[in-house]
Chains A and B, each alone.
Chain A
Amino acid sequence: MTSRTRLWLFAVMALVQLAAPAGMIFSHERTLAKGQAFKFRTAPVDPYDAFRGRYVALRLENSEATLAEGVEASRGQTVYATIDAGDDGFARFGVASLAPPQDKPYLKAKAGYASGKGAVGLQLPFDRFYMEESKAPAAEAAYWAHNKRGAQDAYVVVRVLDGAGVIEDLYVGGKSIQGVGSETKP
């Protein structure tokens, strides 16, 4: 390997290594800036699984979509689910199909297990909300308190653009969880 080819190869490697994180940042920033905001209600999380140290484990209350007519999705297959904002201000998934819909906001996800007739569970990428290490336990406790059956008033705001969704913030009792975490700290 001549020193010239080595230089080129090194440059290509360095650029690819820089481009990978840069691309991740760019696509997520783009979704946050230009995406449409949806509120999703969260659901109680299995407490054994919930606390993982530095993030709050999340689960969306409604993560099922109706399958479009004549469509079958096997587990792991990529589907595109439309999002409808309900009258109560919270979003729900509408119809899942195998191609992205043209006229409605949608989320790209992998199909989970089929649940019941004509419906499919979605494997959503929203399963955690990262917090500062010291605040995560308090935030986790607040999230549980506001996610008890019958007293659910926790939700996430997700920005959605071209099938990609990025969590903007997590709200418990109407307030951003960032504040909840620091309030409980003396």
Chain B
Amino acid sequence: MSRAEKDMREQRHIAWLHEQLPGLVGDGTLTAEAAQSLRRRYGEADASRGLQAATLFGVLGAVLVGGGIILLLAHNWDNFSRTTRAALSFAPLVLAQALAARALWRHTESAAWRESAGAFLPLAVGASIALIAQTYNIGGDLSDFLLTWSLLALPVAYLLRATIPVILYLVGITAWAGAQWTESAEALGFWPLLALALPWWRLEAKANPYRPRPILFAWIFALVLPIGVGASLRDVLEYHGTWMLVCSVIAGALFLAGRRFWGEATSRAQKPLQTLGALGLVGLGLAFSFEELWRDQIGAWRGGARVFADEALSHPLAWAIVALWLAAWLGLWLDSFRFKDAARTFLGAMPLFAAAGLALASFGHPGAAMLLLNLYLFALGVGTLVAGVRAQSLATVNGGMLILAAVILCRFFDADLGFVARGVAFIVLGASFLAVNVVLMRKKRGAKP
């Protein structure tokens, strides 16, 4: 039996399982939760491989044709009159709209049709605006063009329930915000623009958050977010050490949200927010484990609440967005206690340690701040390691090892610390490592009958 046939048969079984589940729940064989986890485990029946390939090839074809049209128009044919150019700028657009209409009414159930037409229409919109910009020598920067393009493409995502337009939109608004970096007040528009795309995510994730479409959105969302933050919150991030707190809070919120809403994901690919959030938290923690960073913060907040209030009033919108993220992180963090998962709550608590570090450094103890963050990372590494050993999960064990190795490597090359201090610290660390190891071994041996 070939692999394709095997897949087909598997898909048929999954389809059968989906048909059976409501009955099994009805007669009490399975609980509703168990049925839901079975659905998650085996995915959706309609996501069969054949259909997915058709969608991918359709999208690829649409993107190639759309890109080709843009390139052809970019040649800027000399002998075309302005009337011809006007007609040319509408032709691909009308064609793409006709295809989108056909996908919407004739092939509503076909993901391949909806995604292909949904990829083609935004490209046609872009080609149309670009040709007009050429015809009339519209100069200036790219940002107005990107914003117009993104906003015209977004409705396609909602109407056709298509993924490509919303991905293009996320990338487009981020590029726009990046191009606004000299005018940070305008770049704040990134947030309302981002909010426009969130209902799409909610709609797609409502039935099953583990489907490829909401997951793909989540990956792109988590990847463009840091760029958007850097471009739009520049004024706030530059205010003393605020960037340390803001970045930790956002990474923490992503990680906790991932654990909260995608907690039962079975593969790494299904965990965009957890993965990128955790990477962000550990990466930031490592950056904060150097004393140099904290020395810049000595006396930074000496001005007290009054000076801060003045600062907040001078950039009220930017600080409001920071406050929203802070509230989101705090809510998710407090919520994480319900799940009695120490590793999750502890990693999610990183912003608290960053805040404590800022307070210590501000009062003139940068060394203490550095020590605190190092202890945090060390505890995090050991905790992850232990949790991995307990759960018999090699990936988690390796994660813990990686965190520890990174901290140790950072300290070994940390020229700010004296050789004696480093030597003593390394010996203490090594001894505690050995002790932990011995304890674990004994436990394991004791657990065996």
Whether the pair A131, B76 counts as a contact (CB closer than 8 A) is yes
Q: Which residue of the partner chain, among A21, A32, A126, A131, contacts B90 with CB atoms under 8 Å?
A: A21
Q: Which residue of the partner chain, among A21, A123, A126, A131, contacts B128 with CB atoms under 8 Å?
A: A21
Flag whether A9 is at the interface (Cβ < 8 A): yes
Residues of B within 8 A of A55 (CB): 134, 137
Q: How distant is the Cα of A71 from the Cα of B128 in the complex, in angstroms?
A: 40
Number of interface residues, chain A, beta carbon within 8 A: 38
Which of chain B's residues has its CB closest to A14's CB? B97
Whether the pair B77, A132 counts as a contact (CB closer than 8 A) is yes
Whether the pair A128, B132 counts as a contact (CB closer than 8 A) is no
Query: When A and B form their complex, what is the total count of cross-chain residue pairs whose Cβ atoms lie within 8 Å?
Result: 93
Number of interface residues, chain B, beta carbon within 8 A: 37
Whether the pair B139, A10 counts as a contact (CB closer than 8 A) is no
Residues of A within 8 A of B138 (CB): 24, 28, 125
Whether the pair B137, A21 counts as a contact (CB closer than 8 A) is no
For chain B residues 75-132, which have a beta carbon within 8 Å of chain A? 75-78, 82, 86, 89-90, 93-94, 97, 100-101, 104-105, 121, 125, 128-129, 132
Q: Which residue of the partner chain, among A13, A25, A135, contacts B78 with CB atoms under 8 Å?
A: A135
Flag whether B152 is at the interface (Cβ < 8 A): yes
Q: How distant is the Cα of A10 from the Cα of B186 in the complex, in angstroms?
A: 30
Interface string of A144-186 (1 = CB under 8 A from B): 0000000000000000000000110000000000100010000
Given A76-B183, A133-B74, A133-B75: A17 and B136 within 8 A (CB)? no
Q: How distant is the Cα of A124 from the Cα of B137 in the complex, in angstroms?
A: 12
Flag whether A90 is at the interface (Cβ < 8 A): no
Interface string of B258-281 (1 = CB under 8 A from A): 000000000000000000000000
Interface string of A13-25 (1 = CB under 8 A from B): 1101110111011
Residues of B within 8 A of A58 (CB): 139
Flag whether B20 is at the interface (Cβ < 8 A): no
For chain B residues 148-167, which have a beta carbon within 8 Å of chain A? 148, 152, 155-156, 159
Residues of B within 8 A of A130 (CB): 76, 134-135, 137
Q: How distant is the Cα of A125 from the Cα of B155 in the complex, in angstroms?
A: 29
Given A17-B152, A25-B132: A128 and B159 within 8 A (CB)? no
Residues of B within 8 A of A167 (CB): 136-137
Flag whether B140 is at the interface (Cβ < 8 A): yes
Whether the pair B93, A21 counts as a contact (CB closer than 8 A) is yes
Which of chain B's residues has its CB closest to A26's CB? B86
Query: By CB atoms of chain A within 10 A, which of B128, B182, B183 has the most?
Result: B128
Residues of B within 8 A of A25 (CB): 86, 89, 132
Whether the pair B76, A133 counts as a contact (CB closer than 8 A) is yes
Residues of A within 8 A of B94 (CB): 18
Query: By CB atoms of chain B within 10 A, which of A14, A54, A58, A131 has the most?
Result: A14
Q: How distant is the Cα of A18 from the Cα of B139 in the complex, in angstroms?
A: 22
Whether the pair A76, B182 counts as a contact (CB closer than 8 A) is yes
Flag whether A129 is at the interface (Cβ < 8 A): yes
Flag whether A6 is at the interface (Cβ < 8 A): yes
Q: How distant is the Cα of A178 from the Cα of B139 in the complex, in angstroms?
A: 19
Q: Which residue of the partner chain, among A13, A16, A21, A132, contacts B76 with CB atoms under 8 Å?
A: A132
Flag whether A61 is at the interface (Cβ < 8 A): no
Whether the pair B129, A20 counts as a contact (CB closer than 8 A) is yes
Which of chain A's residues has its CB closest to B130's CB? A21
Which of chain B's residues has its CB closest to A169's CB? B137
Residues of A within 8 A of B82 (CB): 29
Residues of A within 8 A of B133 (CB): 24
Residues of B within 8 A of A9 (CB): 155, 159
Flag whether A46 is at the interface (Cβ < 8 A): no
Interface string of B362-400 (1 = CB under 8 A from A): 000000000000000000000000000000000000000
Given A20-B129, A25-B132, A166-B137: A10 and B159 within 8 A (CB)? yes
CB distance from B188 to the nearest CB of A (A): 14
CB distance from B151 to the nearest CB of A (A): 9
Whether the pair A17, B93 counts as a contact (CB closer than 8 A) is yes
Residues of B within 8 A of A127 (CB): 139-140
Taking A13-B155, A21-B90, A127-B140 as known contacts, 12 extra A-B pairs with beta carbons closer than 8 A to each other, sorted by chain A number, are: A9-B155, A10-B100, A17-B93, A21-B89, A22-B90, A28-B132, A28-B135, A76-B182, A125-B140, A128-B137, A131-B78, A167-B137
Contacts A/B (CB < 8 Å), 26 sampled: A6-B104, A9-B155, A9-B159, A13-B156, A14-B101, A17-B125, A20-B128, A20-B148, A21-B90, A22-B90, A24-B132, A24-B138, A25-B89, A28-B132, A55-B137, A58-B139, A125-B139, A125-B140, A126-B137, A127-B140, A128-B137, A129-B137, A132-B76, A135-B78, A166-B137, A167-B136
- Interface set of A (CB-CB < 8 Å, partner B): 3, 6, 9-10, 13-14, 16-18, 20-22, 24-25, 28-29, 32, 54-55, 58, 75-76, 123-133, 135, 166-167, 178, 182
